[in-house]
Each structure stands twice: as C-alpha cells, then as structure tokens.
Amino acid sequence: MADTGVNKQQSRSEAVGRAKVAVAGGGRARVYLETYGCQMNIADSQLVNAVLRRAGYGSVDKPEEADVILINTCAIREHAEERVIGRLSDLARLKHSRPEVKLGLLGCMAQHNRASLIAKAPWLDLVAGPDTYRRLPELIGRSGYDPAVDVRLSREETYAGLSPDYEAGVRAYVTIMRGCDKFCAFCVVPYVRGRERSVPAENIVREVEALAARGFKEIVLLGQTVNAYRAGDVDFAALLRNVAAVEGIERIRFTSPHPSDMSTPAIEVMASEPKIQPYLHLPVQSGSDRLLAAMERGYTVRGYLDLVGRLRSAIPGLALSTDIIVGFHGETKNDFQATLDLMRTVRYDSAFSFKYSVREHTRAYRLGDSVSEEEKGRRLSELIAMQEKISLERNRELIGQTFPVLVEGPARRGEGRMMGKTPQFKTVTFPGHDNIATGTTINARIDAATGHSLSGVTV
C-alpha cells in the first residue's frame, strides 16, 4: 500500500522490517529476518516467521544474537540489489567470527541471477525463492558446505491455510494472489514471482474473520495485480463483497490494481460498499502512448484517463496515487512532458517515482538504456517537485473539512499528539495522549496541511 507523499523511490528499497515471531524458549535456534522491498515482501516475511515459529524457531531483533540470519530481498531495481549485496558483506563479517551462524537469502533476488549471486556471496548457506518457504526448516537444516538452494517456482503455491504472523496494529495485509502474468517490458516480477494464482476465497474469508476476532479493523488485500484475482467462480468484485460481509472489519483497501483489470463490477462494489475505502493506487508508469506501448502496459493514456473519470464519478472524494518510471528506453523529452501533462491532468494525491533500471531477463533488457543517469535524475527531480506542489494543493483543499479517522496510536512526532488515517489513506495527527484507544474512529476537522500529512482537532 502506498503512503501519501511523493518521493518514495528510495524508501521502497530500504530495509523495511524485522522478524517478529513468538519468543523462543531457552535452547531453541534463534532467527533474525530482515526485509527489503514492497508490501508483498513484508507479507511474505510474516509467512516465513509463521513457518519458522511452527518449526520451533525463536526470533531475535539483532543479527549478533541469531543462529540463523535471513534476508528477504527485492530485485525490482538494481539499486535494491546492490544494497542487499552490501548488507550481505556486513553480515559475512559476522559469520566470519561465528562460522556456525547460517546466512540465507530469500525472495526475489534469490530467484533472479542466483548463480552470480552465489559467486558474489560464496558464504551464503541458503538461497530460497518466494515459492519455497514451507520448506525453509528443511533447507536450514540441510545447508552444509554447499549452499542449500531451492528457487523452484510453483504454479499452485498460494500458502493458502498458512496464517502469517501479522504485526500487531489496526491494519492487516492479506495476500490474495501471487505472481503476475502481465510481463510489462521493464519488469522482473513475472520472472521472480512466477505465474498468477489466487488464494481460494473461502481461505481468505476465514483469515479475515480470524483477524476481525483478534481486533483488527482494517484489511488491505494484496497482490501484484490484485484485481486480476480469480479463484473458481469468484472474481475480484465478488471477493470484495465477501470480505466486506465479515463483521468487525470496518475498512477494506487493496493494492496494487492494474488499470486493465479494473472492471465495471469492481468499480460498482467500491462505489456501493461503504467498507471499501475511497483510495486507489493506480500505477500509470508513463503519460506517453508511445512509451506505454513500448512498456507493453496494455492501455493508452486515453483509456487510463477514461478509467480515472469513471472511478471519480462513481466514488466521491476518491484519492488517487500512482507509480511512474522516468527514463525508460526511448523516452524522449516530449514523452516525459506527456507524463508531466498527465500528472497535471489527473492531479494525484501522491506518486511513487522511479528511475528506470534495466533488469536482466525482462523483454526490454536487450534494448539497454537510452537515457543517461543524469537526465533520468533531472526528470525525476522535476516530476517530484511538480507532484509535491500538487500534493500540497490537494491537501490544503481539505482544510476545514471533517474526516473519520481510524486511530493507530501516538504520532511519531509532536508531543501529546496521536495519529490515524482518513478513508483516503491520508495521515492525520491530532491532540491526544493515550486517552483515545487505538482502533477507535474519531472525527477530525483538518486545520493544517503539508504535502505529506494533515493535522486536525477532534470534533
């Protein structure tokens, strides 16, 4: 799920979380798990935690205290991979002083270029792709002189029936489908995560009921092309209705939908089902038809704008965010101007923007890079500056309005303030100590705004 805010191209490749599993009793092997990349990777790490906890492993917060160190990786851009290689070198020093420690690499990078990876990091004990997590205890047990490697992709594995170790809070991210069949020319996801497959609807509903019973208020349905969901007779629109019927869940979101799969029935459910929140992260990638065709995105600018129009007229107050790539092969100054024009037209609430990174195995790989790094940087800065201005304007338009805010806890900054999200997924801070319970919904009147957040008072 995208946050509000604009310059997120770096934060997406930061290490985003650590393992949080039940504390082990004495003598059990201890695991440290570090996660890089998108929300799907965070959700996968929660699955890994569950698999290892059930196998008797405990968790620790520091690699120095671990018997097994695992890194769940992202391969979407070269920068993300370089960061992980750097981190692996740090951890190798640790392994040097304690050779019995096992060091493993999981996820998309494990799948992508595993041979060169093992050459670059020969100290790895374990390399496991995203479809092999049920086998992790066995792989950890097996690794010896040569690394234990399992990067087989599966056409069936959805981890249905395996409940992840969710992080405590008001919101739980529930994976409903895995893989991707779209093969956009720039993207490595179909190669590292495999073919599209959906979790059976009854498993999803059971999981959401269990989450409601544990006090979660908001569910975010996850998938690389989440709205391509289909399991038997149940399509995405039907699934939304089924999940919305679960008592106790107050808010439902999903990410990331693909524009080509945004069906009329799905829009109708969003418009008619009050639990489905008026916020959509709708990646566009480029505002130039020539580039969209080269990227093999499967829609035109006109088609995309038409979709935005239909969504906005069906769902009042809808907030929109997007993903943009600058400097894809062949992007001219005119193509880039067309992207800026589209952004001015749509006026997104926020945007995640990325410099194009050539990825091995993709359809665009052989084309190479035609835009220099400097020019990509310049285009990225221009785009971010424009989006920041638009985000600020849009947020200022909300001053004086009142929104229901689902309270998440103390604000990170600002003594004596709490924070929560509006239906549009905008962060609001407001005065309050711990007197307002997490998980309650308050009404906040907005009295100030930045491009990234709102502040208000309870009314």
Residues that bind ligand SAM (CB under 6 A): 38, 76-77, 186-187, 189, 224-225, 256, 258, 283, 285, 323, 325, 354, 356-357, 359
Contact with ligand SF4 (CB under 6 A) among 258, 329, 379, 426: 258
86-89-92 Cα angle (round to 5): 155
Distance (Å, rounded) from C-alpha 221 to C-alpha 235?
14
Of the pair 43, 101, the CB lying nearest ligand SAM is at 43
The answer to whether 104 and 126 are in contact (CB under 8 A) is yes
Smallest separation, CB 43 to ligand SAM (Å): 13
* Segment (H or E) for 59: strand 58-59
Total site size for ligand SF4, rule CB under 6 A: 10
Smallest separation, CB 386 to ligand SF4 (Å): 23
Please name the amino acid found at residue 297.
R
Rounded alpha-carbon distances, angstroms, from residue 269 to 138, 159, 236, 274: 43, 27, 10, 9
Q: x-or-dash pattern for ligand SF4, window 158-197, by CB under 6 A?
A: ----------------------x-xxx--x-xx-------
Tokens of 175: 């994976």
Q: x-or-dash pattern for ligand SF4, window 199-238, by CB under 6 A?
A: -------------------------xx-------------
| 275 class by beta-carbon count within 10 Å (0-12 exposed, 13-18 middle, 19+ buried) | middle
Which of ligand SF4, ligand SAM, none interacts with 183 (beta carbon under 5 to 8 A by kind)? ligand SF4
> What are the strands of the beta sheet with 251-255, ordered from one edge?
171-175, 218-222, 251-255
Residue, CB closest to ligand SAM: 283
Which of ligand SF4, ligand SAM, none interacts with 432 (beta carbon under 5 to 8 A by kind)? none
The answer to whether 148 and 102 are in contact (CB under 8 A) is no
Of the pair 159, 356, the CB lying nearest ligand SAM is at 356
Does position 420 bind ligand SF4 by CB under 6 A? no
Which of ligand SF4, ligand SAM, none interacts with 424 (beta carbon under 5 to 8 A by kind)? none
* Segment (H or E) for 404: strand 402-410
Smallest separation, CB 130 to ligand SF4 (Å): 13
Residue corresponding to tokens 């002083």:
97
Which of ligand SAM, ligand SF4, none interacts with 356 (beta carbon under 5 to 8 A by kind)? ligand SAM
Rounded alpha-carbon distances, angstroms, from residue 343 to 12, 214, 389, 401: 21, 41, 11, 25
Distance (Å, rounded) from C-alpha 402 to C-alpha 443?
6
Of the pair 28, 363, the CB lying nearest ligand SF4 is at 363
Which of ligand SAM, ligand SF4, none interacts with 147 (beta carbon under 5 to 8 A by kind)? none
Smallest separation, CB 190 to ligand SF4 (Å): 5
Query: Binders of ligand SF4 among 322-341, rule CB under 6 A?
Result: none
Q: At what angle do helices 201-213 and 236-244 cross, to 10 degrees?
A: 30
Distance (Å, rounded) from C-alpha 34 to C-alpha 55?
19
Of the pair 71, 189, the CB lying nearest ligand SAM is at 189
Of the pair 77, 112, the CB lying nearest ligand SAM is at 77
Which residues contact ligand SF4 (rule: CB under 6 A)? 180, 182-184, 187, 189-190, 224-225, 258
